[in-house]
Structure 1
Amino acid sequence: MRTFIQRLGAVALLAVFSFALAGCGNKEAEQRKAFISFLQTRVIDKPGLRVPTPTAEEKASFGDYAQHYAVITDFNEGMNQSVSQPMTQIMAKGALRSIADLSSRRDDLKAAKDGMGGLRTALDQQTAKADAAHAQLKQPDDLKQVYDKAYDKTVTAPASTFKEVFPALDSVFDSALAIGDFLEKNKSKIQISGSSVSVTDPAVQAELNKMLQQLNSQSAAINAAQRKLQSMVRG
């Protein structure tokens, strides 16, 4: 038979446990409030794309919700390392300074085009990883509404906008490579000196003009995509 003291001890333990739960609940509410405020004021309300690094004090105030924010920061860090930085290098390698480059730097252009395929794969992987982590998060409704807005602004929208650049780049590289092959094939009829081009065959001249016009129009599409990216980043 349990003694009165034993029963009292059990009741006391239950009471302490209840108080502990209440305390955790209050702490969670405060952490959630701090996290919601951070997302709203530092991410959503700011113009353009902003992924601020919380201070140690701010991170501590989020409690376990700091890991929720890590889903966003991990995506952006992954994008910088596996997409943005490599793309800068690839674009520099594939940059054209004159029409002569279309013929003399075909290997560079081919390497740049192949590199873009790797970047597209990296972007898809980073997005899928973030989306999977996002789907696993357990959040109260008030936090979820704010978090989803922040996630869309810092993950979904940038990834979607970035993807629009790839088709335009593919078209430019394809056209540039085709012109390079055309110049090589007709090199006996085409003389290039700096930015000047002299063609002895009218039919070759007409075809070259057509190909160059197509390349120019495709370059305009890239410029438009870049402006959209810049607008998203700057707000």
Structure 2
Amino acid sequence: MATGKSWSRWMAPLAAILMVVSLSGCFDKEGDQRKAFIDFLQNTAMRSGERLPTLTTDQKKQFGPLVSDYAILYGFSQQVNQAMDDGMKPVADSVNSIRVPQDYMTQREPLRQANGSLNVLGQQVQNAKMQADSSRSTLKQPDELKAVYDKVYQKVVIAPAEAMAPLIPAAQTFTAQLVQVGDFIQQQGTQVGFTAGGIQFPTSQQANQYNSLIAPLASQHQAFMQAYTAAQTSMQ
């Protein structure tokens, strides 16, 4: 019996030591994951430009469960980049291709298609922002991590979403007007003449109609380019 008691007394402190070591190891692991993730956010994500990097296998191991925190940022960034690539860059390319009046006709169909997709594009960006905000609200982050994560979230999610808000209606207004100009020229058929980079109509009424259609283009183009540049800047 004495031997059993001695064995129990010897095992009790050993078990306590093992428990402390085990718990300490767990806390150290979480701390290491948090430090690695904070370093990545500060020195990689914040400096990555318009496209966030995909995590490597080693980084996923280093960050542990914090990989899901990064997925919120990465998922929104991917959707906004796709919106710019599929929706806005084609508009900018078509606009930049218009140099002489004939180009209003050649670019009107691409612009018509782009204009039709902008409504869907705007809804996609709004939905992506709502999803990111909802996912972010469920995160339980220590203050040290939250402070850094919030800065990245501002740069990657909030700023681009706010920049896209005025860009989409500006693009819609501008492309719709360009399509109207192209349609008008097309409707005149062979009555229209193109010389030295200009356009000629047989009647003053046609010329006045054309001038009234192109009159808003300068201000609309300026508004679109300012919003487009702001959106690009917000993603860099």
TM range (shorter): 0.7 to 0.9
Q: How does 1:22-171 map to 2 (within 5 A)?
A: 22-44=24-46, 46=47, 48-49=49-50, 51-80=52-81, 82-87=82-87, 88-89=89-90, 92=93, 96=98, 98-103=100-105, 106-171=108-173
Structure 1 range deviating more: 174-183 or 61-70: 174-183
Q: Which amino acid aligns with 1:165?
A: L
What is the CA distance between 1:73 and its match in structure 2?
A: 1.6
Question: Which of 180, 183, 204 is residue 178 of structure 1 equivalent to?
Answer: 180
Tell me the TM-score normalized by structure 2.
Answer: 0.79
Question: Which of 218, 224, 235 is residue 220 of structure 2 equivalent to?
Answer: 218
Q: Which amino acid aligns with 1:145?
A: A
What is the CA distance between 1:221 and its match in structure 2?
A: 1.5
What is the CA distance between 1:139 and its match in structure 2?
A: 0.4
Contact 1:96 1:102 in 2 (8 A): yes
Contact 1:165 1:225 in 2 (8 A): yes
Q: C-alpha separation between the residues in 2 aligned to 1:173 and 1:144?
A: 41
What is the CA distance between 1:204 and its match in structure 2?
A: 3.3
Unaligned 5+ residue runs, structure 1? none
Q: How much is the aligned-residue C-alpha RMSD, in angstroms?
A: 3.2
Contact 2:73 2:153 in 1 (8 A): yes
Q: C-alpha separation between the residues in 2 aligned to 1:23 and 1:70?
A: 26
What is the CA distance between 1:141 and its match in structure 2?
A: 0.9
Q: C-alpha separation between the residues in 2 aligned to 1:135 and 1:188?
A: 62
Q: Percent identity?
A: 28
What is the CA distance between 1:70 and its match in structure 2?
A: 1.9
User: CA offsets, 1:186-214, max 9 Å, x none?
Assistant: 55864345732112333432332232121
What is the CA distance between 1:13 and its match in structure 2?
A: 5.2
Contact 2:174 2:217 in 1 (8 A): yes
Secondary structure of 1:197's match?
A: strand
Secondary structure of 1:52's match?
A: coil
Secondary structure of 2:216's match?
A: helix
Contact 1:78 1:126 in 2 (8 A): yes
What is the CA distance between 1:21 and its match in structure 2?
A: 2.3
Q: Which amino acid aligns with 1:58?
A: Q
Q: Which amino acid aligns with 1:214?
A: P
Contact 1:50 1:154 in 2 (8 A): no
What is the CA distance between 1:22 and its match in structure 2?
A: 2.5
Contact 1:190 1:198 in 2 (8 A): yes
Unaligned 5+ residue runs, structure 2? none
What is the CA distance between 1:145 and its match in structure 2?
A: 0.8
Task: Evaluate the alpha carbon distance shift between residue 70 and residue 26 of structure 1 in structure 2; reply closer, same or farther with a 3 A threshold.
Answer: same
What is the CA distance between 1:75 and its match in structure 2?
A: 2.0
What is the CA distance between 1:146 and its match in structure 2?
A: 0.6
Q: C-alpha separation between the residues in 2 aligned to 1:18 and 1:141?
A: 25
Q: C-alpha separation between the residues in 1 aligned to 2:63 and 2:173?
A: 46
Matched length: 230
